[in-house]
Structure 1
Amino acid sequence: MSDLTGKFFWYELMTSDPEAAIRFYGDVAGWTAQPFGGERTDDPYHVVSGSAGPLGGIMRIPAEARDCGMTPWWGGYIGSADVDADARRLAEAGGSVKRAPEDIPGVGRFAVMGDPGGAVFMLLKGSSPDGMDAAPPMANGHVGWHELYSGDFDKDLAFYTSQFGWGRGQAMDMGEMGSYQLFSMSGATGFDEMSGGMMPRPKEMPEPAWLFYFAVPDIDAALEKVKAGGGTVLNGPVEVPGGAWIIQATDPQGAMFALVGMRPAAA
């Protein structure tokens, strides 16, 4: 099993309409979904899987969170060997504890954190001794790229590299938009080993946030499925280094997500 400590490995959609979201992403990203643990409640947590196995979950926004103004949102979990110790350490390093560590019965222990710039992520240590393997690069339906729209670029870059051991890759000059800093969650520095990039939050983003890019085999076909399913394409397709293409979009309930994939060669 892969060592997922310090790496994003689970992705969770909190939404106003789980069933509609399952249908939408099932068509766009090719996911399958099943209730967690086989539970058949009126409102189960659904585990979603891509071509290489489970990758995340979809759940309804809890009433108390909805009442506090939470809107549909994708969040990511970073593996932790000790959630309580990591939460303290990250807070001392300039992060913040948004929700103190607590147990999820049958799942593990988690905490909700903020980085120095304000973007939210979660820590998780599973309760099972059986881990999970990381998906192969660009496996269909799985996260192929992680992007941080940073609220404090210099502090956030130092935070993730020092606290999680992420490697710094190339920094790309984007002119007035600042630098786009490539990073690797494995600590590597080679271009082909990069896991994502971070950049100063553009004015179009209402707040600092992580954005996750789900891999699809055909970016143009996926774009049409987004539109046909009631989603909104915000940007793209745009070609990126390496020959892949990306789009950023919102799903029908309003959660922002992104896709990465190739354009099939012309026959």
Structure 2
Amino acid sequence: MAGHHGKFVWYELMTTDTQAAETFYKDVVGWDARDAGMPGVSYTLFTKGEQQVAGLMTMPQGALEMNVPPAWLGYIGVDDVDAAAEDVAAKGGKIHRAPDDIPGIGRFAIATDPHGAVFALFTGIGAPPPAVDPMAPGQIGWHELMSGDLDTAFPFYAGAFGWTKDQGMDMGEMGTYQIFAIDGAQAGGMMTKPKDIPSPYWLYYFSVPALDTAIERIKSGGGKIVLEPMEVPGGAWIVQALDPQGALFALVGQRG
């Protein structure tokens, strides 16, 4: 998957009730879903048109035993997973699952940054999928890190993946919201988490065509709004929510 080093290339929901989650996200985000057809593995693909957007799987038994809550995981593309894992560890991160193969798909590893935010490393087999507009309905429009400490978190990701600083927004007492770019294009933002948030995390924003309609579907589907609609620079609106199993996600789009 040449040319994708440092880019988010996949997203995956690990949850306690995959059937309920499939129904919820199909309704809220507008995805279709189908079985991945992987021998011996139950794995669902969320799709938009012909494009595969994200995956869905039951949480591993080990995670359940540790009371790890359902959550979305982002995969960052790298040229060489083994080398990238060594680099992440050398820069103060931690590898929680050593590099391993997904037959016929690629190679991956699970990691945390120096403050504990989880992400995955991935090298795929074959040609990468075509580029898409991140704000097109059903795509992932934004990547946001509530970091343990912005001043050290940003250099970690910049060093590991080549991300660069874009606009920095003064959020008053909350500090700076640092927008970052990947290959020159704005891809997300990060800031030091508020003290009342127990641990750092990545949050992914799914693009929808009509935010108010999606909010009503969140509520009717058993989800919960945790951040009411807020306008962001550029004229789009966002909302943050929990799905019925407790996984945090966000939506971005126009009102309506």
Match of 1:174 in 2: 171
Match of 2:114 in 1: 116
How do residues 39-188 of structure 1 correspond to structure 2 at under 5 angstroms?
Answer: 44-51=42-49, 53-126=51-124, 128-186=125-183, 188=184
In the TM superposition, structure 1's runs of 4+ consecutive aligned residues that sit over 3 Å from their partners are none
Are the counterparts in 2 of residues 48 and 56 from structure 1 also a CA contact under 8 Å? yes
State the Cα distance separating 1:64 from its structure 2 match.
2.0
Match of 1:17 in 2: 17
Per-residue CA distance 1:188-237 (angstroms, 9 max, x = gap): 2xxxx311100111234331000000000011111111001000000121
Are the counterparts in 2 of residues 153 and 200 from structure 1 also a CA contact under 8 Å? yes
Match of 2:31 in 1: 31
Per-residue CA distance 1:164-209 (angstroms, 9 max, x = gap): 11121111111111100001122x2xxxx31110011123433100
Per-residue CA distance 1:120-172 (angstroms, 9 max, x = gap): 1000112x313212321301111100000001211111111222111211111
Are the counterparts in 1 of residues 9 and 77 from structure 2 also a CA contact under 8 Å? yes
Of 232, 245, 248, 1:240 maps to 232
Query: What is the CA–CA distance in structure 2 between the aligned matches of 1:249 and 1:60, rounded to whole Å?
Result: 20
Are the counterparts in 2 of residues 52 and 139 from structure 1 also a CA contact under 8 Å? no
Are the counterparts in 2 of residues 117 and 155 from structure 1 also a CA contact under 8 Å? no
How do residues 220-259 of structure 1 correspond to structure 2 at under 5 angstroms?
Answer: 220-259=212-251
Q: Normalising by the residue count of structure 1, what TM-score does the alignment of the two structures yield?
A: 0.91
Match of 2:8 in 1: 8
Q: How many residues are aligned here?
A: 256
Identity %: 52
Match of 1:208 in 2: 200
Amino acid aligned to 2:90: E
Query: What is the CA–CA distance in structure 2 between the aligned matches of 1:133 and 1:79, rounded to whole Å?
Result: 14
> 5+ residue gaps in structure 2?
none
Query: What is the CA–CA distance in structure 2 between the aligned matches of 1:51 and 1:139, rounded to whole Å?
Result: 12
Are the counterparts in 1 of residues 222 and 244 from structure 2 also a CA contact under 8 Å? yes
State the Cα distance separating 1:2 from its structure 2 match.
7.7
Instruction: Evaluate the alpha carbon distance shift between residue 115 and residue 38 of structure 1 in structure 2; reply closer, same or farther with a 3 A threshold.
Output: closer
CA RMSD for the aligned pairs?
1.6
Q: Normalising by the residue count of structure 2, what TM-score does the alignment of the two structures yield?
A: 0.95
Query: What is the CA–CA distance in structure 1 between the aligned matches of 2:110 and 2:225, rounded to whole Å?
Result: 29
Are the counterparts in 2 of residues 161 and 167 from structure 1 also a CA contact under 8 Å? yes
> 5+ residue gaps in structure 1?
none
Amino acid aligned to 1:110: F
Query: What is the CA–CA distance in structure 2 between the aligned matches of 1:2 and 1:217, rounded to whole Å?
Result: 32
Query: What is the CA–CA distance in structure 2 between the aligned matches of 1:52 and 1:247, rounded to whole Å?
Result: 27
More deviation, 20-29/107-116: 107-116
Are the counterparts in 1 of residues 4 and 79 from structure 2 also a CA contact under 8 Å? no
What secondary structure, in the 3-state scheme, does the structure 1 residue paired with 2:85 have?
helix
